[in-house]
Structure 1
Amino acid sequence: MWTLFEPVHAVTYFHPRARAAYEAVGLRGYWRGYFAGRAAPLGPVDAAPVVAVFFTFAPSMVSRALPAVWQLATPQEALRARLTGAVQALAELLYELPERHLAEAAELLEAAAGSLDTAGRMLGAANAALPGGEYPLARLWQAATTLREARGDGHIAALVAAGLDPVEALAWRVAVDQPPQNLLGRGWSEEQWQAARGRLAARGWLDADGQPTAVGRAGFQAIEEATDQAAARPWLALGPDRTARLRELLDPLARSCYRILPDNNPIGLPAPQP
């Protein structure tokens, strides 16, 4: 299900209309819009909570954006901009789909998001507390975002439980399946990257050539399974029939939205299957 609702959420990072909406409220430059838009549900926070809940960004990088961005746009303005930009992006991408298709998808996705247990899930809880919007595209995007952020909270919990720190998690993904340029721009120094690779080698996840080992692959698979298990409640609550119907409805949306993502996207989102 993640592969179907994540592309809907991800238009906020990659579509020109989403970036233009941030710029219109004074958030010029990609990272200002990113940090303000994604952190806005938490209120006018300082850097420390965002370092914790975003997980993979160096504290120094977050501190360059927060709390200074709130002088450019308030959290309320950032929230309006991110929803406006996302809806405009979706309208451009999904214009061929009938309104009834979008409305039914929004209704089912909202039902899934409404069954979340947000305890211990800060970004999921903060997004779940936001109004869904009046029209189907707004409702659809907000529900996808709530589910996405709640799943991310669970993934971070799994990483922490497995003893992986942020740089180690990034270094592992670079070793496995991500081009370095996708993840290197998160504020960590080369010394920190090298130290993280050394720690992964010491725990047996990377070999002497920096390649993933069977131990590492098994360890990360356990993290992925824990993430999926923690994210299962909405689909169990929705039930197999309504979940299957939602899969059917989301498939053309995911395919249309995925087209704007860059190759080897930094989210690690696989292409929709034929």
Structure 2
Amino acid sequence: MEDRAASTARRMWTLFEPIHAVAYFAPEALSAYEDAGLRGFWRGYFACRAAPLGPVGPEPVAAAFFSFAPAMVARALPDVWQLTAPERALEIRRAGAVAALRRLLTGHEPEAERAAEALVPRAAGLDTAGRVLAAAHASLDFPDQPLDRLWHAATLLREHRGDGHVAALVAAGLDGCEALALRAGTDIPRAELQPYRGWTDQEWEAARLHLTERGLLLPDGTASRNGRELLRAVESATDRAAERPWRALAPDAVQDLTTLLTPVSRACSAALRFPNPIGLPEPAGR
């Protein structure tokens, strides 16, 4: 039963993550940041994703976001709060995401509405113990409009899973840069990770050296067998930590939800690039 729930958690992540991720990749979301005076993608990103935490400084955000270089976070926070209050940043983020969904899901409106109502029960009442970002997002009210509800539910589930993933990485003895360097030695190009997380070449090479000393990377930077096994263990722990919202679903209910979410997710994935810094796999048949 637990193995099935963990497998379901991973399958659902591949379906709800593209819905959430339009807030980072879709032009409507980027325009919303710019129009609000948040010039440069990262000001908008850090302000809007951190906004549920309140007007915090860089330290708790770097800790919660995990894989971003602290210096990169500090270039945006706390100065960004002089440009927009957290409450306004939340409005900007949601408006951009909903505008993107409205375009991407044209022709899929009935499926999107049903998907929203199917995900809301999974996202409402999440256990957020030890999950700071999920708890902060869970403190926000569910919106009334279907596309807004869809994005909010996907975001809650995404941050819930993300918090568990961070815990798994910490338990594996990896810091933010090391986690990326190990992943770059496996299946995601370094160019999709290092520059988008703000680590310097010196920091990256130090992380690679440490991983090599642990026997997780080979001298050429590719993951060793032990490194690949560690990443698999991290992903497995992440799936187990994310399984609770899906435990009550019977196999036929899982299949129904998969069928419902697949066209919606595939349409949203058109806003993403593959490979991407999130590590999201390209949907089959895209």
Q: Which TM-score band applies after superposition, normalised by the shorter structure?
A: over 0.9
Q: Which amino acid aligns with 1:209?
A: D
1:155 to 158, 165, 177: 165
How many pairs were matched up?
A: 273
Identity of aligned residues (%): 57
Pairwise CA distance, 1:21 = 1.1
Q: Is the 8 A contact 1:112 1:237 kept in 2?
A: no
Q: How many angstroms apart in 2 are the aligned matches of 1:250 and 1:189?
A: 39
**Counterparts of 1:246-257 in structure 2 under 5 Å?**
246-257=257-268
**Which residue is equivalent to 1:124?**
134
Q: How many angstroms apart in 1 are the aligned matches of 2:47 and 2:88?
A: 10
Pairwise CA distance, 1:238 = 4.1
Q: How many angstroms apart in 2 are the aligned matches of 1:151 and 1:205?
A: 25
Alignment pair present for 1:207 and 2:212: no
Q: Which amino acid aligns with 1:38?
A: R
Q: Which amino acid aligns with 2:186?
A: V
Pairwise CA distance, 1:98 = 3.5
Q: How many angstroms apart in 2 are the aligned matches of 1:155 and 1:135?
A: 30
Alignment pair present for 1:38 and 2:49: yes
Q: Deviations over 1:154-213 (max 9, x none)?
A: 000000011001110010111111122211222222111111101111111112222211
2:241 to 230, 243, 254: 230
Pairwise CA distance, 1:243 = 2.9
Q: Deviations over 1:13-69 (max 9, x none)?
A: 011101111122211110011001100011111111101000011111111100111
Instruction: Give the TM-score normalised by structure 1.
Output: 0.96
Q: Is the 8 A contact 1:115 1:234 kept in 2?
A: no
**Which residue is equivalent to 1:59?**
70
1:141 to 136, 145, 151: 151
Q: How many angstroms apart in 2 are the aligned matches of 1:97 and 1:258?
A: 14
Q: Which amino acid aligns with 2:230?
A: G
1:217 to 216, 221, 228: 228
- Answer with 182-191 or 160-169: which moved more: 182-191
Q: Is the 8 A contact 1:18 1:89 kept in 2?
A: yes
**Which residue is equivalent to 1:106?**
116
3-state SS of 1:176 partner? coil
3-state SS of 1:237 partner? coil
Query: Unmatched 5+ residue regions in structure 1?
Result: none
- Answer with 145-154 or 185-194: which moved more: 185-194
Q: Is the 8 A contact 2:67 2:180 kept in 1?
A: yes
- Give the RMSD, CA atoms, in angstroms: 1.2
Alignment pair present for 1:79 and 2:79: no
- Answer with 125-134 or 61-70: which moved more: 125-134
Q: Which amino acid aligns with 1:153?
A: D
Instruction: Give the TM-score normalised by structure 2.
Output: 0.92
Q: Is the 8 A contact 1:105 1:250 kept in 2?
A: yes
C-alpha change, 1:157 and 1:246, in structure 2 (3 Å) is same
Alignment pair present for 1:167 and 2:177: yes
Q: How many angstroms apart in 2 are the aligned matches of 1:263 and 1:102?
A: 23
Q: How many angstroms apart in 2 are the aligned matches of 1:209 and 1:181?
A: 16
Q: How many angstroms apart in 2 are the aligned matches of 1:85 and 1:109?
A: 20
3-state SS of 1:255 partner? helix
3-state SS of 1:266 partner? coil
